[in-house]
Structure 1
Amino acid sequence: MDPMIIKVPHFSRPSQGNAPLPNWMKNANTSLPLKRDRVTNLEEYLDGAGAIPAKEQVLYGREGSEPDIDWQDEPPRGAEREPKAYSDAGYLVRKTSKSGSAPWKVHSIVVQSHRIMEILRSSLDGYPGVSPALDTMTLSSPFKPMFHRWDNFLRAIESADDDVKLHIDGFVGILKKELKPYFKILQDADEHGVIEHDHLWTIFGPDELICWDIKQNHSIGRVLDTSKDPWSGSFMIRCKQIVWDGFTLQDEDRQQCIGRFTGSRLIAEMDVVPLSRKPDRMAIKEVALQRGKKFLGLAGCHYREYLGLGLVKRQHEEDYDEEDEDPPRWDGISGRIVLDAAMWDGKVRNRQESQAIDPASKDDSECLICSPLVKGYSLSKKKWYKLFVSNISDITWDNSFDRLVLGSDEKELLLGFAETKLHRSTEFDDFVSGKGNGVIILLAGPPGVGKTLTAESIADQMRVPLYPLSAGELGTSPEKVENKLYQALTLCQEWDAVLLLDEADVFLEMRSTSNLQRNELASIFLRLLEYFKGLMFLTTNRRDSIDPAFQSRIDLTIGYDDLAEDSRFGIWKNFIGENANFQGAGESKLRDLASHEMNGRQIKNVVKLTGMLATRRKQSLDSTHLNAILKMYEQN
């Protein structure tokens, strides 16, 4: 086995009178920063702590399984002797050599002096993996804690009394010698912007702000610790970000990785970069700061607009691995969303427990590391996503209720029913607790007369989410229908959302002995409706075929006829009469358009195609394009 060497400086005796101090202590800088500035003069930086040789005793040992090495005061020459105790040593310097002879490398330092321990407790407080509360401390090469806290270490020495400065002098000298090559590496990184993989730890110290990209969005975290993956050799960085779990702000660990590479690499081009080394760091910080304040304002439950990519919620939320068979999937999302981290995990939230947080209550250092993603639900895709804070915006309301082509009495009645549910009135609850609290409105009529638009307009007028759901989305399997419908009813009730069940005929039609599956679907639907406490719109094209069991549960029925010419005129006016980009949309033209027997959906499609044609021709929108589309429509 290869031998080891240990140097054991003894405790220094208390100074008698005015003992002379080393020159480095006399001229030391007492205003050292707590966080290191860029190293420009390595010797000057390290000479903040000089070294006067301390009395030493060399111990030898054979390399083996620590801590059971047999330390001797002479090189091992065969028979082992009883080990000596060195409890009076201030610190043990352990050295190893592969060949059993010079050169020897420092393996570790065991600190036993209570005076040195006091300095280390002060300078290494909070450093991950260090337990300063113990009576002794083992520091292993390459002495990462001392490297990252060197300024703090010197500062602690400067504030100590003269006896301690003399006592710790030899310890400082050893560290200075061991750390000098790594500070030279750091200096080169500062000057040239490159680094080798084995030295990445020098620029990723604890508390360092780091930056990485998620779909071209900068994400910032604060380093907790680093390690080397034993299998791949990748450099692993564990950092923290602030997230909202639906109830409180939480520190959440993030694991970032820099794959193994050979030679030197530009730091700025790595997948993960210290924020201080990004050329545009000031702009990145400003964006992250404003985003963090916005993130805090989105805590709670909110109804918003979204345009951008969203990360689909996975069935299992374990950390993604490159070899995972189910990698993360990003969808493009455009439309209304509900932000609600509590419901992400299926936790029904007390409305008083989950409120927005005043961004002013958090300092900038916290805002910087807020997650760039929040948990939300896409009402159009019926899926949960992690959504970019930067892509969330307030909803622009278009007051479509005022333009709804419907009689004033019907509009007032509809709005009255809706507002009753919004204010959670229970004046007319069922005799059985929990039953009969919902409001169900049936919209019956032919296609394209405004049934769906009515529900959308009511929801917008009340500034609440609309949860659109079609019978086709529910499926035909009883189990699938029950699960999806239950989820929809639960979310709508939790969010005060309006549920629109479009084309509900499959559930509403009269039951018969010849179609048992449809009977089962209808029974499931009826059972779930009994305890629904929200507002639901049902649409149907076949009003006369509704099962009597449903008739008794419908609070209000609004019937729609085929659009009359005046109604079509109102729809055309809503679509193009108020469009400043459309030329030649006077009343006579609108009356001419209204003479065409079309429903609302057909009118909407014609207007849409007209806009596409004008864009294709790179022309201003006018009657020429509209007439061309109408001609094609009538021919087909």
Structure 2
Amino acid sequence: MSFDNIKGAAAAVNAVTNSLSLTALPNPEMDISLISNFQSEEEVTGKSVEKDEPEASLSLDNPTLETMTENLKEGGKKRIPNPGSSNSVLEILTVLGTSIKSETYRSSREVRNILDAGILNNRHIAVSIVSTKITLFSKAAIGAIRRLVHYYPSASLDAEHIELSSPYTLIAHCLKDLESFCAEVHETDATKAPNSTTVEDDVPSTPTCNKDTVEHLGILIDFVKEHVFKHKIEEEEKRHAQSLCTFRMLWLLFKPGDTVYVESGGRQVAYVVQSVQVDDSIMAPDRRRYDPYTITVWNLAFDGTFVRRANLKVYISHFEGERSITSLKVFPSTFLDQKDNCETRRKLEASGEKWYGLLRGAQMYYNGHIMSPSKGTLVGRVYIDSSSYYSQHGNGPDVGEVDDIGEGLAKCPCEQCHGRRPHPPVQFPWGKYDFLDPDVTESLVDEESPHGARHRYLICEGFVYGFVLKSKKWEKLDIECLLPPQPNLKAMESLVMPEDRKVMIKALVEKFSRVNHGKGSSKSWGADFIQNKGEECIAEFTGRALLSLTCGDIGTDEVVIEQRLSEWFRLAEKWGAVMLLDEADVFLERRQISDLKRNSLVSDFEVTMRAKKYILSQHALNEMEWNGREIRNIFQTAVALAEYRFSRKTDKTEFDGPVLDQQDFEQVCNMTQEFKQYLTNIRGNDEEERAGAHNDRFDDRVSGQ
């Protein structure tokens, strides 16, 4: 059979199936299946094709279209035996809906009577096309598709046979690549034996094809182009050139692996297409309404430890006529990029870069609406720490469950996969988009990415979790509303106190807040040096977050105080924050024999404070008889003054160093004495006298002996 004759036979088949679909059925009761088996002429005749014959040819295994009937039982169908021969290139299954009433217990005699009366040519039976499916058997064609299509999760490309359902989106999305592949036949393949391309072949870096591959792909391509797509793809692409689309061909916009924009909260967010679920009867000419499209996309999200890929499903309901592409809920990014000269793309890339940097934690200024269920507007300082939020509120979000690496694969225990996913094959294009540790991978720029160097920034999610320093609550925050904080470095100058005391405070602040270069965090410390405004000034001077706590934040139950206080200290240490314990005198009051609960409370508080070493002991400041502890504190403070003075020196050389002199000791001693006198004035007696009055200790000086 010549190629032209076979094309004519295929056209006849198409005409028959089209003639069967003139009557639309809203609820078909019985399906019949038409099976067409396509083979190359060489496989049918067992003879080689003459050189002057076309290289590709096909024939119908059964031109009369063998029909089978199958009953619908509660929505299920009986499986039809595969009639294809072992030499089949592909097989096409066309399912037609009929008006024959469905019966669960129809006898074989009744079925025979129905068949004898005829179905396709019976004017009393209405018939319509329900769906079609192609099963590809050719190993040569399957091997070529695997080489060309690197990402198409909805198709099982690793199976022995490839099944494609109408409207054959894989073929349409890759049609140009398949045609170009067939056109570039390399001379080096001429010496290869037929069917040399097999399922087990290794994947070469540059795809090549041979005679069998060209022939078998040609059969597939010619069928879908001439009998399925016809001119529909060309017509839809013309609409795309005008940024228009139709619902029936909407699937053509969403090729897996392409970047799309999804409308979310009045703005565009970038994602990557994973799959598009299409109504199987979308190409049927007699349908008037279709099921909604389900478009599965993914982007980069944070699970509390790693940046991973996260799924989202977007639905597009049926619409009539044409519609602007950029008015859809989801659309390819190229249409808006061309329209606004990539302004949206650059904005999202910058937003993603900010988002990724903030995963390490930082103090920021927020001005805008919060994204938490409580809504509302927030203006003020926040500390961004999504990992701490997830650790305090249970496990992180459900990310990393993008099932697109392959079917039936076990999770891999290697360091790259962490036992949480199958190991990606060599051809998998998204291996660098998973298990990204912000503390290890400093930048997401990838100059070798075929999607653009900053593509990973482009598809980052647009929110983080932050701790509002004023309300002491966690909130979900919009990344676009976060701004760098502007600390008031001159706030210390507004304090009403002697200048030398300001210098000492600055020296102590600088001494205790030096950065630990190992992890980028700061040495833990906190102090309430000055009443009222002092703590804000210290925070502003250091550019650090101010964590101001009261009894309500810590609690008054000795069972939970240590737990809460330890958690606050952990956050303060991680953030390098200035921590103010307001009303701390409640926890430091003198123990009383009659109040064991208070004694336990004070004891728990003091034990936690000493264990953590987060503040300077106020007891050391109260006892000024120049004991060993006081001498040590005075000496350390004097050293801090010397180092601070040296850090402000402008004419120092590499051989210079801090010099501790008499003025440093005098300044510290003077302030210590002033503090002692201040306590004596407001309490009427000094430390020893108060201790003697409470019978806490016996001194000769106190007793007057």
**Kept after mapping to 2: 8 A contact 1:296/1:356:** no
In structure 2, C-alpha distance between the alignment counterparts of 1:105 and 1:259, rounded to whole Å: 20
Of 202-211 and 86-95, the range deviating more from structure 2 = 202-211
What residue in structure 2 maps to residue 74 of structure 1?
none
What is the Cα deviation at residue 52 of structure 1? Answer: 6.4
**Kept after mapping to 2: 8 A contact 1:478/1:520:** yes
**Kept after mapping to 2: 8 A contact 1:440/1:535:** yes
Q: Please tell me whether residue 503 in structure 1 is matched to residue 583 in structure 2.
A: yes
What residue in structure 2 maps to residue 79 of structure 1?
none
One-letter amino acid matched to 2:162: M
Q: Please tell me whether residue 403 in structure 1 is matched to residue 494 in structure 2.
A: yes
What residue in structure 1 maps to residue 326 of structure 2?
268
**Kept after mapping to 1: 8 A contact 2:247/2:318:** yes
Q: Please tell me whether residue 157 in structure 1 is matched to residue 248 in structure 2.
A: no
CA shift digits 1:498-519 (9 cap, x unpaired): 1112233432333446666655
What residue in structure 2 maps to residue 186 of structure 1?
236
CA shift digits 1:194-242 (9 cap, x unpaired): 656665433333123222344444311111123489xx96644322222
Name the CA shift for 1:516/1:205 in 2 (closer, same or farther; >3 Å): farther
**Kept after mapping to 1: 8 A contact 2:140/2:212:** no
What residue in structure 2 maps to residue 31 of structure 1?
none
CA shift digits 1:361-414 (9 cap, x unpaired): 561222221222233332223233333333222222321123332333433433
One-letter amino acid matched to 2:354: K
**Kept after mapping to 2: 8 A contact 1:301/1:355:** no
Q: Please tell me whether residue 3 in structure 1 is matched to residue 32 in structure 2.
A: yes
One-letter amino acid matched to 2:67: Y
In structure 2, C-alpha distance between the alignment counterparts of 1:200 and 1:514, rounded to whole Å: 80
**Kept after mapping to 1: 8 A contact 2:92/2:133:** yes
Q: Please tell me whether residue 354 in structure 1 is matched to residue 439 in structure 2.
A: yes
CA shift digits 1:447-471 (9 cap, x unpaired): xxx6242122222323322211223
Secondary structure (helix, strand or coil) at the match of 1:346 reads: helix
**Kept after mapping to 2: 8 A contact 1:452/1:502:** no
What residue in structure 2 maps to residue 170 of structure 1?
219
In structure 2, C-alpha distance between the alignment counterparts of 1:104 and 1:471, rounded to whole Å: 74
What is the Cα deviation at residue 535 of structure 1? Answer: 4.5
In structure 1, C-alpha distance between the alignment counterparts of 2:317 and 2:475, rounded to whole Å: 28
Name the CA shift for 1:128/1:330 in 2 (closer, same or farther; >3 Å): same
The counterpart of 1:238, out of the listed 278, 281, 296, is 296
The counterpart of 2:506, out of the listed 412, 415, 432, is 415
Secondary structure (helix, strand or coil) at the match of 2:176 reads: helix
**Kept after mapping to 2: 8 A contact 1:501/1:537:** no
Name the CA shift for 1:255/1:523 in 2 (closer, same or farther; >3 Å): farther
In structure 2, C-alpha distance between the alignment counterparts of 1:346 and 1:203, rounded to whole Å: 40
The counterpart of 1:61, out of the listed 42, 64, 68, is 68
What residue in structure 2 maps to residue 95 of structure 1?
94
What is the Cα deviation at residue 109 of structure 1? Answer: 1.0
Secondary structure (helix, strand or coil) at the match of 2:533 reads: helix
What residue in structure 2 maps to residue 464 of structure 1?
544
How high is the TM-score relative to the length of structure 2? 0.58
Name the CA shift for 1:126/1:468 in 2 (closer, same or farther; >3 Å): same
**Kept after mapping to 2: 8 A contact 1:6/1:92:** yes
Q: Give the alignment of 1:150-549 within 5 angstroms.
A: 150-159=175-184, 160-176=209-225, 177-180=227-230, 183=233, 186-187=236-237, 190=240, 200-227=250-277, 235-245=293-303, 248-258=306-316, 266-278=324-336, 279-280=339-340, 282-312=342-372, 328-346=373-391, 354=439, 357-358=442-443, 360-361=445-446, 363-399=453-489, 400-423=491-514, 441-443=527-529, 451-474=531-554, 476=556, 482-512=562-592, 518-519=598-599, 521-535=601-615
In structure 2, C-alpha distance between the alignment counterparts of 1:199 and 1:517, rounded to whole Å: 75
Name the CA shift for 1:457/1:249 in 2 (closer, same or farther; >3 Å): same
In structure 2, C-alpha distance between the alignment counterparts of 1:205 and 1:301, rounded to whole Å: 37
Name the CA shift for 1:527/1:218 in 2 (closer, same or farther; >3 Å): farther
Across the aligned residues of Structure 1 and Structure 2, the Cα RMSD in angstroms comes to 4.0
What residue in structure 2 maps to residue 595 of structure 1?
none
**Kept after mapping to 2: 8 A contact 1:496/1:534:** no
One-letter amino acid matched to 1:291: S
What is the Cα deviation at residue 481 of structure 1? Answer: 5.0
Name the CA shift for 1:274/1:472 in 2 (closer, same or farther; >3 Å): same
What residue in structure 2 maps to residue 124 of structure 1?
149
**Kept after mapping to 1: 8 A contact 2:272/2:299:** yes
Name the CA shift for 1:353/1:141 in 2 (closer, same or farther; >3 Å): closer
What is the Cα deviation at residue 95 of structure 1? Answer: 1.2
What residue in structure 1 maps to residue 405 of structure 2?
none
In structure 2, C-alpha distance between the alignment counterparts of 1:281 and 1:466, rounded to whole Å: 43
How high is the TM-score relative to the length of structure 1? 0.63
CA shift digits 1:239-289 (9 cap, x unpaired): 222234565442233344446767765543343333334454722112112
Name the CA shift for 1:161/1:467 in 2 (closer, same or farther; >3 Å): same
In structure 2, C-alpha distance between the alignment counterparts of 1:17 and 1:171, rounded to whole Å: 22
Unaligned runs of 5+ residues in structure 1 are: 23-50, 72-83, 313-327, 426-436, 444-449, 545-550, 557-636
What residue in structure 2 maps to residue 42 of structure 1?
none
Q: Give the alignment of 1:544-583 within 5 angstroms.
A: none
**Kept after mapping to 2: 8 A contact 1:303/1:338:** yes
**Kept after mapping to 2: 8 A contact 1:498/1:537:** no
Larger radius of gyration: 2
In structure 2, C-alpha distance between the alignment counterparts of 1:536 and 1:70, rounded to whole Å: 83
What residue in structure 2 maps to residue 599 of structure 1?
none
What is the Cα deviation at residue 7 of structure 1? Answer: 0.8
One-letter amino acid matched to 1:330: K
Name the CA shift for 1:21/1:537 in 2 (closer, same or farther; >3 Å): farther
Name the CA shift for 1:105/1:10 in 2 (closer, same or farther; >3 Å): farther
In structure 2, C-alpha distance between the alignment counterparts of 1:464 and 1:206, rounded to whole Å: 45
In structure 1, C-alpha distance between the alignment counterparts of 2:174 and 2:462, rounded to whole Å: 30
Number of aligned residue pairs:
468
What is the Cα deviation at residue 480 of structure 1? Answer: 6.3
One-letter amino acid matched to 1:357: E
**Kept after mapping to 2: 8 A contact 1:12/1:167:** no
CA shift digits 1:555-578 (9 cap, x unpaired): 89xxxxxxxxxxxxxxxxxxxxxx
Secondary structure (helix, strand or coil) at the match of 1:374 reads: strand
Name the CA shift for 1:329/1:186 in 2 (closer, same or farther; >3 Å): farther
**Kept after mapping to 2: 8 A contact 1:375/1:384:** yes
What is the Cα deviation at residue 15 of structure 1? Answer: 5.5
What residue in structure 2 maps to residue 45 of structure 1?
none
What is the Cα deviation at residue 141 of structure 1? Answer: 1.4
Unaligned runs of 5+ residues in structure 2 are: 1-29, 99-118, 121-126, 185-208, 280-289, 393-436, 448-452, 517-522, 623-628, 635-705
One-letter amino acid matched to 1:371: E
Secondary structure (helix, strand or coil) at the match of 2:144 reads: helix
Name the CA shift for 1:478/1:269 in 2 (closer, same or farther; >3 Å): farther
Secondary structure (helix, strand or coil) at the match of 1:96 reads: strand
Name the CA shift for 1:369/1:338 in 2 (closer, same or farther; >3 Å): same
